Amino acid sequence: MAFLEFHGIGKSFPGVRALEAVSFGVEKGSCHALMGENGAGKSTLGKILAGVQTADAGRIVLDGREVSPRSPLEARAAGIAMVHQELAFCPNLTVAENLGLGDLPSAMGWLDRTRLRDRALAVLREIGADIDPDVPVGQLGTGREQLVQIAAAVGTGARVIVMDEPTSSLSVAESENLFRLVGNLRAKGITLLYVSHRMDEIFRLCDAITVLRDGRHVATQRAREVGPDGLVRQMIGREVVAFSPRHVGQELGEEVLRVAGLASPGKFRDVTFSLRRGEVVGMAGLVGAGRSEVATAVFGLDAEATGSVEVHGRRVRAGRPVDALEAGLGLLPEDRKRHGLVLSMNCRENTSLSVLGRLARAGFVKGKDERRMAEGYIRRLNVRTPGMESGVAGLSGGNQQKIALAKWLARDCSVLIVDEPTRGVDVGAKAEIHALLDELACRGMAILVISSELPEVMALSRRVLVMRQGRVVADIPRAEATADELMRRMAGVGPGV
Q: Which residues face 257 on adjacent strands?
A: 275, 311
Share of the chain above pLDDT 70, in %: 95
**491: amino acid identity, one letter:** A
- Report the C-alpha gap between 47 and 458 in whole angstroms: 34
- Report the C-alpha gap between 487 and 173 in whole angstroms: 11
- Model confidence pLDDT, tens digit, residues 77-129: 999 999 887 666 788 889 998 888 877 888 888 888 889 899 999 888 887 77
- For the chain, give the number of residues: 497
3-state secondary structure of 388: coil
Provide mean pLDDT across the span 285-297: 87
3-state secondary structure of 459: helix
Phi, psi of 111 (to 5 degrees): -65, 130
Provide mean pLDDT across the span 251-276: 95
Q: Is the pLDDT score of 240 beyond 60? A: no
CA 405 to chain centre: 14
Would you state the pLDDT for residue 495? 63
Q: Is the pLDDT score of 53 beyond 80? A: yes
pLDDT-based confidence at residue 305 (cuts at 50, 70, 90): very high
Would you state the pLDDT for residue 34? 92
pLDDT-based confidence at residue 130 (cuts at 50, 70, 90): confident
- State the CB neighbour count (10 A cutoff) for residue 152: 23
Strand pairing report for 160-164 and 80-83: parallel
- Report the C-alpha gap between 413 and 318 in whole angstroms: 19
Helix (H) / strand (E) element for 229: namely helix 228-236
Provide mean pLDDT across the span 391-399: 83
Would you state the pLDDT for residue 437? 93
What does DSSP assign to residue 340? I
Cα angle for residues 257, 266, 494 (degrees, 5° grid): 80
3-state secondary structure of 288: coil
What is the longest distance spanned by two Cα atoms in the chain?
73
| Helix ranges (DSSP H) in 336-469 | 347-352, 356-359, 367-380, 397-411, 427-442, 454-460
Strands (E), 50-159: 57-62, 65-67, 80-83, 106-107, 110-111
| Helix ranges (DSSP H) in 40-189 | 42-49, 72-77, 95-100, 113-126, 142-154, 172-187
Query: Rounded mean pLDDT of the chain?
Result: 87
pLDDT-based confidence at residue 496 (cuts at 50, 70, 90): low
- For the chain, the distance separating the N- and C-terminal CA atoms, rounded to the nearest angstrom, is 54
Would you state the pLDDT for residue 251? 93
